[in-house]
Amino acid sequence: MYARRRRAYFVLMGTCLGLFVLAWGVVRLWSVPVAVAMCVVAMVIPPVAAVVANRRGPDDRWWDETSGDERSDAWWDELDGRRKPPPGPGSD
């Protein structure tokens, strides 16, 4: 899932870059309003790309789900302040 999201992000950002380059390198010679419109479209793409890249997939672990590894889950619970740390060696 990560590779698919990463690929989609780079495709969207490549499209954005391509629109800017085409708008001011080629299209502006024939029509400045069309070049500006292309830049407006390109301006919308980066936030959409960020949402696409950061959305959670069906197999991705969410921040508050347990992983099944008791040691790791205990560490995260301690870090989040949900559980007191287990007594370590020498703490009687």
pLDDT tens-digit readout, 43-81? 999 999 999 888 877 666 666 667 778 887 787 778 777
- Closest alpha carbon to 42 in 70, 12, 63: 12
Tell me, yes or no, if the pTM score tops 0.85: no
Q: Is residue 90 part of a domain?
A: no
Q: Is residue 10 part of a domain?
A: yes
Q: Is residue 92 part of a domain?
A: no
Q: For the chain, give the mean pLDDT.
A: 84
The residue range of the domain holding 12 is 2-80
| Spatial distance between the Cα atoms of 71 and 76, rounded to a whole number of angstroms | 9
pLDDT of residue 27: 94
Q: Is residue 11 part of a domain?
A: yes
Number of domains within the chain: 1
pLDDT of residue 77: 78
pLDDT of residue 55: 83
Percent of the chain with pLDDT over 90: 49
pLDDT of residue 48: 94
